Structure 1
Amino acid sequence: MTLYYSLVFLLLVTEMVIFLGLIVPLPFTWRRKLFTFVSESPIVAKLQYGMKITFIFILILFIDSVNRVYRVQVELSAVSKSDNRGAAVMGGSERMEVQARKFYSQRNMYLCGFTLFLSLILNRTYVMILDVLRLEEEVKTLKGDPATKGKGSSLQNVGNPGEVGKLKEELAAKDRDMENLKKQVENMQKEYNRLGDEVSGPNSTGRKAQ
């Protein structure tokens, strides 16, 4: 197995572990804290952005593996025809080689396909669990459960993984831009005052001499 297919397999195993982590029954408070952390963490936002690029490459590998399976199937059909025509020795060795390449091509196709499919399942599972948690929180709030009051950790603001963290980073970047803009305005104001003093200085001296 080549390096990139080994990385795809590692990603598949990671997705399986994450999926098991999502379906493990946990107390409502623990799960609410977990989903809030996943939504607000800027690290998760960066990982999610990187995973989108990774899945694009995996999709390309999947399309390539499907193409290879099709080509190997055509070669296997051609070798089968040569066997029927009497080329027993050469056809048998060629058939084994083609079948081996077919096996590897199918393995790569299934590996990439299951990785992409499980990514969709993870996304859908996350959304469904989040909806369930929001409904549970609403029910507890309507029942007057004190555990849902005054903690400021409502799930109404929780969205996709890293979404809140990404928005916080954008807000911090805008604040930095605003501070830089204020400094530039202050520097321009100081420079304007300095130039005004330089221009008004000779004029006022000439008027006093007259």
Structure 2
Amino acid sequence: MTLYYSLVFVLLVLEMVLFVALIIPMPFKAKRKLFNFISESPIVAKVQYAMKITFIFILILFLDSVNRVYRVQVEMAALSKDTSGAGRAAAMGSERMEVQARKFYSQRNMYLTGFTLFLSLILNRTYGMILDVLRLEEKVKMYEGDSQAGGKEGEKLSGRYRADQIGELKKQLDKKDKEIEGIKKQSEGLRREYDEISVKYNQTNPGSGNKKIN
């Protein structure tokens, strides 16, 4: 294996390690810190830019390996047609082995570069999906009143709508409702007492008619 294909193989192994690291379950705080560092670090940004250039070269190697596989297939088809005589058959046998060896190496290089490119696309998409999930989780935690979610914005939001404060406000609201119900019952009792007093007053003062006390 040549040097650049050896480097492609190392890159493929690194991609597999990164993919496993991305899908490993982690606590929300640790995952948020890790992805914030990846998305905000200038060093990581430079590495990502260099990797994009590297993948362009890998794409060129992939196209070259596909071309080599096609040419080897054409040679194999030509050799299978040109078989006449015992000596010629022996010579053709050695040539066929050489062509098959070149076919094997070309296919190996094609699969190596192809899987490296394919896994890079999967990593990019997985990274974007995890970022989207983290943003949604931060929004949910901010609305629930978690002060550690969303940075400064989450602290402001949680300061106003913290979970314990919401519970306290609900208790106060229930208390006010009970007080209102008590006031309503009190007013109804006072109204009944007023009606009774009005009836008694009319009975003791017949000249006033059936009018109630004003």
Partner of 1:88: 89
2:68 counterpart of 1:60: no
Aligned runs of 1:1-210 on 2, under 5 Å?
A: 1-83=1-83, 85-86=84-85, 87-148=88-149, 151-152=151-152
Measured in 2, the distance between the counterparts of 1:52 and 1:135 equals: 28
Q: CA deviation at 1:152?
A: 3.6
SS in 2 for 1:72: helix
SS in 2 for 1:145: coil
Measured in 2, the distance between the counterparts of 1:139 and 1:36 equals: 18
- Give CA deviations for 1:156-193 in whole Å, capped at 9, x if unaligned: xxxxxxxxxxxxxxxxxxxxxxxxxxxxxxxxxxxxxx
Confirm or deny: 8 A CA contact 1:140 1:148 kept in the other structure.
Answer: yes
Confirm or deny: 8 A CA contact 1:72 1:101 kept in the other structure.
Answer: yes
**Larger RCO of the pair (alpha carbons < 8 Å, separation 6+):** 1
Measured in 1, the distance between the counterparts of 2:134 and 2:149 equals: 12
Measured in 1, the distance between the counterparts of 2:122 and 2:31 equals: 19
**Number of residue equivalences:** 152
Measured in 2, the distance between the counterparts of 1:153 and 1:105 equals: 55
Alpha carbons of structure 1 residues 140 and 2: separation in structure 2 relative to 1, 3 Å = same
Q: CA deviation at 1:153?
A: 8.5
Extract unaligned runs of 5+ from structure 2.
155-214
Confirm or deny: 8 A CA contact 1:8 1:111 kept in the other structure.
Answer: yes
Measured in 2, the distance between the counterparts of 1:27 and 1:81 equals: 64
Amino acid at match of 1:26: M
Measured in 2, the distance between the counterparts of 1:37 and 1:64 equals: 37
Relative to the length of structure 2, the TM-score reads: 0.68
Of structures 1 and 2, the larger Rg is shown by: 2
Measured in 2, the distance between the counterparts of 1:104 and 1:57 equals: 19
Measured in 1, the distance between the counterparts of 2:61 and 2:134 equals: 36
Extract unaligned runs of 5+ from structure 1.
155-210
Alpha carbons of structure 1 residues 54 and 121: separation in structure 2 relative to 1, 3 Å = same
Alpha carbons of structure 1 residues 114 and 23: separation in structure 2 relative to 1, 3 Å = same
Q: CA deviation at 1:146?
A: 2.8
Measured in 2, the distance between the counterparts of 1:15 and 1:129 equals: 16
Relative to the length of structure 1, the TM-score reads: 0.69
- Give CA deviations for 1:63-108 in whole Å, capped at 9, x if unaligned: 100000000000011111123x343201111111000000000000
